[in-house]
Amino acid sequence: MTLDARAFRDAMGCFATGVTVVTARDEDGTNVGCTANSFSSVSLDPPLVLWSIAKNANSYNAFMKAKHFAIHILHSGQEDVSRLFATKDIDKFNEVGWSEGAGGTPLLDEYSVRLECTTEHLYEGGDHIIIVGRVHDMDNPDAEPLGFYQGKYATIVTQ
């Protein structure tokens, strides 16, 4: 049986996720970043997380070689940041506040949660590569997260 790619994508959109921006520095010292909702925790001991990047992404080579990266779980007021980092061929870091972290990793100034990681494993995943990172530092200012559901940004209501 062959699945229709659009139907599969629509079905996966029924799983509500958070929205992240993943950042790193490439070998030439250029900051790179992309929006990703393919993020999950893997292990508490050691602290591991994963995310995946499309093999045709502009920043693919940079993330394949990066030893350090940061995952920023976006807060509810950051739709514009999500859209910015999903855009190709622009200098995204001119539009946001950031500082430099371990290994030169660009760290966004605003987020719901920030995880500073080193690359632990890379796994084949069809048209993506799954990147497993070990978390070395984190910051959790406890802001309401930005959600994504059925192709649209969503508000996550907590009780």
One pLDDT digit (tens) per residue for the chain, 159 residues = 788 888 888 887 777 889 999 999 999 999 999 999 899 999 999 999 999 999 999 999 999 999 999 999 999 999 999 999 999 989 999 999 999 999 999 999 999 999 999 999 999 999 999 999 999 999 999 788 999 988 899 887 776
94, two tokens: 């001119």
Task: List the chain domain ranges.
Answer: 5-155
Q: To which H or E segment does residue 159 belong? A: none
**pLDDT on residue 120:** 97
Residues shown for the chain: 159
Cα-atom radius of gyration of the chain, to the nearest Å?
15
**pLDDT on residue 93:** 97
Fold that domain 5-155 belongs to in CATH:
Pnp Oxidase; Chain A (2.30.110)
| Cα 126 to the center of its chain, rounded Å | 18
